[in-house]
A and B are shown apart, each in its own frame.
Chain A
């Protein structure tokens, strides 16, 4: 197992290091807060000759992803990153590399969506990307930002996968935080990510058509093929994470758990707030509450089996969403209910929404959720309608 060097590194720089060590060929990105430092650092690396890549300065995120699609089709190893409104402008093109099975690697520094304008973190941008058929995973600290970006190249480019892969890091909470992490040796990372060879590269000598017209007689077949292939990526993702774990000593699974032994209640989180949630679980455990924490690492493809396994002994699952699906409640909560329906009818699921637009979620909020959820279960059992509560919000009225 390799040890590497302990460094204090900003989350954005950790991502840039991973991109550099992966020997990326083409970077096309447009700066937007809170992702800017990633792009800045990468352009600096290219300018200084530390990374032999083509840095394409584009005029928008739509163009960034378009350039990535072209470069990836030509067989290059490609990286881009964006956030919030940038991801929304990129949205149209995000479906293209996944449908064309192009292994673009991206990092999203999660940010809220306008209006009102907010550059701060929440998961509204993530939730708008649920159906783009990209493999998507969440980092909880800068170490994971580096590790998962490194793994993203291997996953995306695996011949049994060939889907673009996106790593989510929470804007500001990770992108701008400097903290201790282990930076592995370059040769070891290079050994982990071999040179990439696309199996059906654009080549005039062996012509192929990509992304061409799909009339009704063929379109559904292509979409079914895409869906089946996407579903089949799960074991490969785990295999690559396992291989990473063996070399680097840090192990990742699609559904992570914390203090779940004997837990009857669990909090469920995604992203950087998970570590704060752990502190809340510690305090609640000390107070005698049988509570644990489940964190979704893999967001797409959704880890059904691992999730069902994680909740099998639970009475109550308390879900935190950092986004609103307007008119529907919390999007993660809805998906969990759908994933567990017909499997665990006795399990109560209570959703909360919090941390919108960079509002902090303190330990006390997590403890409040656990206590309040138990009250809500009583209300559910009395047959009352229980609405998704948005926590930490002041009640309006009076100007």
Chain B
């Protein structure tokens, strides 16, 4: 059985990627199961999806705790300790990372010991679809890694997207982009020695969950008494694009300040607005709203480097 886990952010298409892969596997004659898991239904929030592909009926359910293959659709998630996309990845497994890094760079940057394939899927998405929605593209690379056919991938993309959109040109673009990604990578084999983790000794393993501080059962309540950590969760690493300022034409009209949905545009001592890049999610409403076109957009390549100053 192939066990894959997709990690992305809300709006990027991790759910649909898993659905495309599952559908393609089904069309290739396999049993397939696709299980998405998300919490807060908002753009940018971490989303995971699990896909199981097997020649036998699939009995296990839920999140895949020990995948053979992990698809990381947003490389900033690799620095998010709450998500930790490679957790549980089996020895000899494969990680595909959407990044402009080479595999060697990515392995060093994110301290990954597993086999790494890299592809700048965001760039392909922007070039071929005109937007950073990567569902069918990530589905395409995953289909290649598990060895599915091009025909089934094509049919799966058509089937899944026709449930979402009636735009035939967008559909055709997605088919092309998925196939491009399918052929853009050199697939490698997983080198997993044990198929299913089984242990002779029946032992209790504590589930790996995020480490929120909590009090002993005798004194705790349904409230989680952690100190408010929202200010610590800098959301600036969600950006695909960063708003860039041209102060020569800025008239200090403050429309951008009023329009920013996250209160991320502040005003400096000289009365000019500026972006709080630690928290700006790159929605680009400010770029859209600026009457003097004083705001442009620059693609974030390695988000980490632009956080803060």
Contacts and interface: CB of A to CB of B under 8 A. Distances in A.
Residue in A359, A362, A392 whose Cβ sees the most chain B Cβ within 10 Å: A362
A360 B215 contact: no
Contacts of B34: 177-179
Interface stretch (B19-27, B234-242, B251-259): B19-27
Main secondary structure of the interface of B (DSSP, over half): loop
Nearest to A180: B31
Contacts of A273: 61
Interface stretch (A182-190, A274-282, A302-310): A274-282
B5 to A, nearest CB: 13
Contacts, number: 99
A227 to B, nearest CB: 35
Interface stretch (A49-57, A86-94, A364-372): A364-372
Interface in A277-328: 278-279, 283, 287
Given A179-B34, A392-B206, A398-B213, A33 B41 contact: yes
Interface string B34-60: 111101010000000000000001111
B39 A173 contact: no
Nearest to A174: B61
Interface residues of A, number: 42
B32 interface: yes
A333 to B, nearest CB: 20
A116 B225 CA distance: 11
Contact of A371 (B32, B63, B202): B202
B291 to A, nearest CB: 38
Interface in B1-38: 19, 22-23, 26, 31-37
B170 interface: no
Interface residues of B, number: 42
A360 B63 CA distance: 7
Contact of B204 (A33, A275, A364, A399): A364
A262 interface: no
Main secondary structure of the interface of A (DSSP, over half): loop
Contacts of A359: 207, 209
B202 A364 contact: yes
A172 interface: yes
B207 A116 contact: no
B111 interface: no
B65 interface: yes
Contacts of B220: 396
Given A276-B60, A396-B216, A368 B202 contact: yes
B216 A173 contact: no
A278 B58 CA distance: 12
A361 B62 CA distance: 9
Nearest to A362: B65
A115 B223 contact: yes
A397 B216 contact: yes
A395 interface: yes
Contacts of B35: 172-173, 176-177
A363 interface: yes
Contacts of B205: 362, 364
B224 A116 contact: yes
Contacts of B61: 173, 177, 272-273, 275-276
A276 B62 CA distance: 9
Contact of A363 (B60, B63, B200, B224): B60
B308 interface: no
B237 to A, nearest CB: 25
A394 interface: yes
B61 to A, nearest CB: 5
A264 to B, nearest CB: 17
A116 B200 CA distance: 37
B222 A115 contact: yes
Contacts of A367: 202
A368 B222 contact: no
A370 B204 CA distance: 12
B215 A173 contact: no
A287 B201 CA distance: 10
Contacts of B22: 8, 178
B33 A360 contact: no
A358 B204 CA distance: 19
Interface in A97-117: 114-116
A43 to B, nearest CB: 14
Interface in A363-399: 363-365, 367-368, 370-371, 391-392, 394-399
B78 to A, nearest CB: 23
A180 B52 CA distance: 12
B155 to A, nearest CB: 12
A156 interface: no
B62 to A, nearest CB: 5
A137 interface: no
Given A177-B33, A395-B216, A396-B216, A116 B222 contact: yes
B60 A275 contact: yes
A105 to B, nearest CB: 25
B203 A360 contact: no
B198 interface: yes
A119 interface: yes
B188 to A, nearest CB: 27
A287 B200 CA distance: 8
B214 interface: yes
The 3 A-B pairs of least Cβ separation, nearest first, read A396-B216, A8-B26, A178-B34
Given A8-B32, A115-B223, A358-B37, 8 more contacts: A116-B224, A176-B37, A177-B61, A178-B33, A179-B34, A364-B202, A396-B217, A397-B216
19 contacts: A8-B23, A114-B222, A173-B61, A178-B22, A178-B23, A178-B33, A179-B33, A275-B61, A359-B207, A359-B209, A360-B65, A364-B203, A365-B204, A367-B202, A368-B204, A392-B207, A394-B209, A399-B214, A399-B225
Interface of B: 19, 22-23, 26, 31-37, 39, 41, 57-63, 65, 198-200, 202-207, 209, 213-217, 220, 222-226
